[in-house]
C-alpha cells in the first residue's frame, strides 16, 4: 500500500482548532489544515447509521457516470486502495521478485514491514530503500488504472488530494498544478537536521544504487534481476546518500513524525487545494473518493463527508473494496460502490465510450 499510516505532525490535537479550521499558515491558505478542520467537524457530526449503497451496482455505476459528465467540478481523494488496484502491492510477486534475497536472509515478508527492519548496517539499509523507492516510484504501475482515471476527468475542472506517495498521478499525466501529495514523495530526500526545510530529488542516486547492487536494465529501461539472481545486498559506503547542502544524513520525505519537511512545493500544492475548495464551495461538485481506508480518514474521507453535507448540490462517491460506505446523513447524496476500483473505472470508461459513440451517430 502506498498510503502513509502514521500520525501527522499537523494533527489538530496539536493545533488550535480554529487555526486548523481556517487553514491559514502565514500569508497563504493551508489546504491540509483546512481539510483536517473539516474532518474534525465530521467526527462530531456523523453518528447513528451507515449507508452502504443502493444494492444495485450497475445502477450506481451508471449514476456515477452521469455525475462525472455533469459535475461542475470533481475533487478526487485517493488512498492506498487505488494504487493497490493498479498493481502496486507490497507483498506477493512484486516483493518476491525484487526482495527475494532480503526475505531469505532476514525473514522479511513484505515491503511495508521491511521499511521498519533494523538492518545491521547503513549500507544494507540503503540497499533496501533503493529497491523500495525504485519499484514504488520510478516505474509505471502494472495496470493502467491511473491513466484510465485521467481519461475520465481530463476535460473536467478537477483537483486531486492523495495520501499516496508513489507519484503515479504525475506519471499518468495528471496536471501537476492540480495535485496535492499530503504525506510526501518517495522521490524526495530530506536532511535529518530540523533546521533544513528543503527536499532533494533522489532519482540519480536511486539509479546508481540499483546498478551497484547488480540490477540490469531491460529493453524498456526497467531494472530487472539478472538471470543468475546474483545481487548485492549492500551498497558501497561512498554511495550512502548525504544532504548536498551540508553533508548531513538524509531520510525519505515521508510523513512519519514531526520531522517531516513540508517544502515550498508542498505548501504551494496545499494552497492550490485550499483555493480550489473555496472556488467550489457551492454548485454541483463531485467528491470522488478512491481506495481511501480508515487509517487517516481525517485527511480525505471525513472532510469529503462534511463538504457534501454542507452543499446540497454536491455528490459523494466512494469506490472501495469492502469499505464503500457513507454516513446516513448524506445517503441521498452518496454513491457507494463495493469492488475493485480499477474494474469500476473500466466499466465507467465503457459506458462513456458507448454514450459518445451513440451521440456521434445521431
| Segment 106-162, tens digit of pLDDT | 999 999 999 999 999 999 999 999 999 999 999 999 999 999 999 999 999 999 999
Q: Is 236's pLDDT higher than 50?
A: yes
Domain 12-85+145-182+263-361, CATH number (from 1.20.1440.130, 3.40.605.10, 3.40.50.1220, 3.10.620.30): 3.40.50.1220
Helix segments in the chain, DSSP class H: 17-22, 31-45, 57-70, 80-85, 93-106, 111-114, 122-137, 145-153, 168-172, 203-212, 264-279, 301-310, 341-361
What does the pLDDT read at residue 357?
A: 66
Mean model confidence pLDDT for the chain: 91
Other Cβ atoms within 10 Å of 44 Cβ, number: 8
What residue ranges do the domains of the chain occupy? 12-85+145-182+263-361, 93-140+203-240
Contacts 24+ apart (CB under 8 A), 95-104: 97/225, 98/131, 98/135, 98/225, 99/128, 99/131, 100/225, 100/229, 101/231, 101/233, 102/128, 102/233
| pLDDT average, residue stretch 287-295 | 95
| Segment 198-217, tens digit of pLDDT | 999 999 999 999 999 999 99
What does the pLDDT read at residue 359?
A: 62
| Segment 26-78, tens digit of pLDDT | 579 999 999 999 999 999 899 889 999 999 999 999 999 999 999 999 999 99
pTM: 0.90
In the block, which residue shows the cell 496536471? 175
What does the pLDDT read at residue 20?
A: 39
Amino acid at each position: 500500500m502506498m498510503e502513509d499510516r502514521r500520525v501527522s505532525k499537523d494533527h489538530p490535537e496539536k493545533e488550535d482548532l480554529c487555526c486548523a479550521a481556517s487553514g491559514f499558515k502565514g500569508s497563504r491558505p493551508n489546504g491540509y489544515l483546512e481539510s483536517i478542520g473539516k474532518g474534525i467537524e465530521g467526527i462530531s457530526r456523523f453518528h447513528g447509521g451507515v449507508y452502504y449503497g443502493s444494492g444495485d451496482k450497475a445502477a450506481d455505476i451508471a449514476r456515477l457516470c452521469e455525475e462525472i459528465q455533469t459535475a461542475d467540478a470533481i475533487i478526487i481523494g485517493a488512498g492506498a486502495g487505488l494504487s493497490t488496484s493498479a498493481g502496486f502491492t507490497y507483498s506477493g510477486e512484486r516483493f518476491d521478485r525484487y526482495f527475494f534475497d532480503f526475505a531469505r536472509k532476514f525473514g522479511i515478508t513484505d515491503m511495508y514491514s521491511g521499511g521498519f527492519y533494523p538492518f545491521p548496517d547503513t549500507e544494507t539499509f540503503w540497499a533496501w530503500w533503493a529497491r523500495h523507492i525504485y519499484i514504488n516510484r520510478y516505474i509505471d504501475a502494472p495496470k493502467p488504472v491511473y491513466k484510465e482515471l485521467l481519461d475520465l476527468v481530463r476535460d473536467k475542472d478537477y483537483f486531486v488530494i492523495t495520501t499516496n506517495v508513489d507519484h503515479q498521478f504525475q506519471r499518468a499525466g495528471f496536471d501537476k498544478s492540480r495535485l496535492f501529495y499530503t504525506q510526501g514523495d518517495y522521490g524526495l530526500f530530506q536532511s535529518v537536521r530540523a533546521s533544513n526545510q528543503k527536499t532533494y530529488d533522489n532519482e540519480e542516486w536511486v539509479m546508481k544504487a540499483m546498478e551497484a547492487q547488480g540490477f540490469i536494465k531491460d529493453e524498456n529501461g526497467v531494472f530487472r534481476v539478472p538471470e543468475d539472481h546474483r545481487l548485492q545486498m549492500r551498497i558501497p559506503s561512498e554511495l550512502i546518500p548525504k544532504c548536498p547542502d551540508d553533508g548531513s544524513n538524509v531520510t525519505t520525505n515521508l510523513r512519519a513524525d514531526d520531522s517531516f519537511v513540508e517544502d515550498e512545493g508542498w505548501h504551494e500544492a496545499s494552497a492550490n487545494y485550499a483555493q480550489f475548495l473555496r472556488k467550489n464551495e457551492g454548485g454541483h461538485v463531485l467528491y470522488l473518493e478512491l481506495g481511501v481506508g480508515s487509517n487517516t480518514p481525517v485527511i480525505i474521507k471525513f472532510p469529503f463527508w462534511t463538504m457534501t453535507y454542507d452543499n446540497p448540490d454536491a455528490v459523494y462517491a466512494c469506490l472501495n473494496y469492502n469499505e464503500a460506505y457513507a454516513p446516513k446523513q448524506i445517503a441521498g447524496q452518496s454513491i457507494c460502490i463495493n469492488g475493485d476500483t480499477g474494474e469500476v473505472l473500466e466499466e465507467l470508461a465503457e459506458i462513456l465510450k458507448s454514450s459518445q459513440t451513440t451521440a456521434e451517430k445521431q
